[in-house]
Structure 1
Amino acid sequence: MSEDEAVRHWREAAPGSVLLDGFHALKHALRFGAAVRVAVTTDKAATLRLAGELAPDLVGDLTGILVELPGPGLRDLVPRVHPTGVAALAARRDRATNLADLTRRPRRSPVVVLDQPRNLGNVGAVVRLAAGFGITGVVTTGDLDPWHPNVVRSGAGLHYATAVERRDVGELPPGPLWVLDPEGRDIRAAELPDDALIVFGSERHGVGDELRSRADALVALPMRAHVSSYNLATSVGMTLYHWAATSRSPLVPGRS
């Protein structure tokens, strides 16, 4: 594909195309099956050297799809050029596949539910945690789009490694609701079910009344007195580590 063709493909990309901002986002998206429509770089040779160091499994794929654009050309296509000088557009992960993954039973790893999240970067960090722990997916309620470009950026392209969807409270996947709440019992005394929906609220407001009232269990993370809250992504990471440490699911990373 020539420079002109790459620019045309970019500008004519289907609505809803996902911006993969930077080498690592493109790397992860390719590894987990994203349909990449166009990929550009300000220095193809340098990008392939980087791939040789960090992702040798993808050198062949990247050689075939990357188109080199001068720096000014890339600046015309993206809000800001990533330090790696790489950007791509991909199709969003198929929603029917996401919903099938989320509703399939029996489920052998949890779903993280973020109730009314507000911070785009935090949601992206949670997606990275979900991918790393091999859980079923991340569902958000409220107005925030979990596929917003800033969420995908902070998620490093790992939206393709797990199911990521926005759903109304009444449309959540099946499974027992385990809600993180300061009044819950110490999570260290609990064993999270593999098919649980683990619900986290915002740092300021916590989980909303509607979901809290439906909880099958309330659990709390250990926290020193007079400390008001943990960062959302930190809370998710601590909880998923506890699940991985206590679960016997074969889907726990590193367990065969």
Structure 2
Amino acid sequence: MNDPASHAVAGSADLVTAWHRLAGTCVLLDGFHALKHAVRFGAEVPVAVAADRRAALTLAEELAPDVRPALEALLTEVPERTYAALVPRPHPTAVAALAVRPSRAANLERLARTARSSPVVVLDNPRNLGNAGAVIRLAAGFGATGVVTTGTLDPWHPTVVRGGAGLHFATAVERLAVAELPPGPVFALDPEGDDLRGVRLPDDAVLAFGSERSGLSAELRARADHLLSLPMRPQVSSYNLATSVAMTLYHWSLGGGV
């Protein structure tokens, strides 16, 4: 069976039609860096455009020479007005692409694999799309096995992908119910928990973070094996979600991760 998302678009004449045909099922890569990371981590990219192809390839030569040949084959130059009409908000690099989203089955298999070498990050009922994207970018940087969200936020929303700079393709990203969390001891961050600095986080840990507004849900709290707290000066109410994840993953890395 031929998958229309498996073939690069040849030439610009049919590009807009192909873009609109694929946009409903593919992931929008907004900007050069999102495309760079997606290509670097093996994403399938059926269509990619640039308002200035030469400038985009020069940027690749300077910042990502490893993916320049792939981008040279992928990028089609289009008029700036055409590019602007394809994206909700033009990016300063004037580059955009559509990528095939990894299958849910493949991500679930990766998340469920035991004897993991790095933790899974869980965002419990997150609310802010940009924060979720920043966490995915962090998790990819630390080599986390994956990022799971619970609740209604779609971790593949275009705003989340933009915040993640295309690094969704470097880790497993899925939305699950609390009852479906991957195996492994659950360490949930909570102000009443034990000080993180006194705990060694195992590689197969499931690290859970509540929303900045309401904290952990009752369901996630009941599922937790350990409650941990981050060091914080008195009278400071909370850290930004991405900051909390960064601190926790860094603490894990001190035990031998990354």
TM-score range, shorter-chain basis? over 0.9
Tell me the residue number matched to 2:202: 193
- 1:199-232: CA deviations, max 9, x gaps? 1001111111111122111110000000000000
Tell me the residue number matched to 1:33: 42
8-17 or 37-46: bigger deviation: 8-17
Taking structure 2 as the reference length, the TM-score comes to: 0.95
- 1:90-148: CA deviations, max 9, x gaps? 10022222111100011121100000000000000000011000010000000000000
How far apart in 2 are the matches of 1:151 and 1:14? 16
How far apart in 2 are the matches of 1:61 and 1:147? 24
- 1:123-175: CA deviations, max 9, x gaps? 00000011000010000000000000000000000000000000011111111
Any gaps of 5 or more consecutive residues in structure 1? none
Tell me the residue number matched to 2:5: none
Q: Does 1:16 align with 2:25?
A: yes
Could you tell me which of 98, 102, 105 is aligned with 2:107?
A: 98
- 1:43-86: CA deviations, max 9, x gaps? 01111101000011111111111000011111121112110010
How far apart in 2 are the matches of 1:47 and 1:14? 22
Taking structure 1 as the reference length, the TM-score comes to: 0.95
Q: Does 1:48 align with 2:82?
A: no
Give the Å deviation of 1:14.
5.8
Q: Does 1:64 align with 2:92?
A: no
Tell me the residue number matched to 1:3: 12
Letter aligned with residue 123 of structure 2: L
How far apart in 1 are the matches of 2:202 and 2:29? 34
CA contact (8 A) 2:194 2:229 kept: yes
Could you tell me which of 224, 242, 253 is aligned with 1:233?
A: 242
How far apart in 1 are the matches of 2:119 and 2:188? 12
How far apart in 2 are the matches of 1:92 and 1:24? 17
Q: Does 1:139 align with 2:152?
A: no
Aligned length: 249
- Alignment partner of 2:231: what SS? coil
- 1:176-215: CA deviations, max 9, x gaps? 1111000111000000111111110011111111111221
Give the Å deviation of 1:15.
2.8
CA contact (8 A) 2:124 2:217 kept: yes
- Alignment partner of 1:183: what SS? strand
Q: Does 1:169 align with 2:178?
A: yes
How far apart in 2 are the matches of 1:216 and 1:90? 37
How far apart in 1 are the matches of 2:91 and 2:174? 26
- Alignment partner of 1:61: what SS? helix
How far apart in 2 are the matches of 1:219 and 1:16? 39
Identity across aligned pairs (percent)?
64
CA contact (8 A) 2:23 2:98 kept: no
How far apart in 2 are the matches of 1:80 and 1:200? 30
Counting only pairs closer than 5 Å after superposition, residues 208-219 of structure 1 correspond to structure 2 as 208-219=217-228
Tell me the residue number matched to 1:151: 160
Letter aligned with residue 194 of structure 2: R
How far apart in 2 are the matches of 1:236 and 1:242? 10
Could you tell me which of 77, 83, 86 is aligned with 1:74?
A: 83
Tell me the residue number matched to 1:107: 116
Letter aligned with residue 87 of structure 2: V
* Runs of 4+ off more than 6 Å: none
Tell me the residue number matched to 2:133: 124
